[in-house]
Amino acid sequence: MSRTLRGADRRRLQFQSLTGEFRCRHCRLMVFSPPSGGRHRNHCPYCLWSRHVDGRVPGDRASDCGRVMEPVGTFHRPNGEQVVLHRCLGCGTDRHCRVAADDDQALLMRLSVVAAPRRPAAAGWERLPRVG
């Protein structure tokens, strides 16, 4: 079931995108801006869970879903960069995002390796086939 974000909720999410601070909805720890690389923190470095807040563009905070996203796999881009695949527990949408420097390496190693998405795709936010 999807819920529409209005007024104060949308402003709060937009504020979070500017400050980079939020409390993880899965492990409840505070998460701060990444120490290096990237401008948008969209997952918890401690448990790797995320929240479905972005629409088509990373950092746009335009999604109406807002549910938690489980880390379900990982793959490497052609340039060698590691990426985590998340699946929304609300709407089932799959998204992927770059691994941050402070992400828990042991948890990353426990994730299943999945096939990299095919090109071309708008901003890398395409639907991927279900994993496992």
Tens digit of pLDDT for each residue in 22-52? 899 999 999 988 776 566 677 999 999 998 8
| The two three-digit tokens of residue 64, written as one number | 């109406």
Omega of the bond leading into 45 within 30 degrees of 0 (cis) = no
pLDDT score for 10: 52
User: What mean pLDDT is reported for the chain?
Assistant: 78
Domain ranges of the chain: 7-112
Ranges 24-28, 101-105, 127-131: which has the least confidence: 127-131
CA angle 28, 67, 58 (to 5 degrees): 95
Q: How far apart are CA 7 and CA 75, in angstroms?
A: 37
Strand 50-51: give its sheet, edge to edge: 50-51, 68-76, 82-88, 94-98
* pLDDT for 40: 67
113: β partners? 74
Residue 18's pLDDT band (cuts 50, 70, 90): very low
Q: Which residue from 95, 111, 99 is spatially nearest to 53, judged by alpha carbons? A: 95
Do 100 and 45 form a contact (C-beta atoms < 8 A)?
yes
For residues 75 and 117, give the distance between their C-alpha atoms in angstroms, rounded to a whole number: 9
Bridge partners, 69 (sequence order): 50, 88
Q: How far apart are CA 52 and CA 38, in angstroms?
A: 18
Q: What is the pTM of this model?
A: 0.70
Give the per-residue pLDDT at 2.
42
Residue 76, pLDDT score: 94
Which has the minimum average pLDDT: 21-25, 107-111, 127-131? 127-131
Binning the chain into helix, strand and coil, the percentages to the nearest 5 are: 15, 20, 60
Q: Which residue has the higher pLDDT, 122 or 106?
A: 106
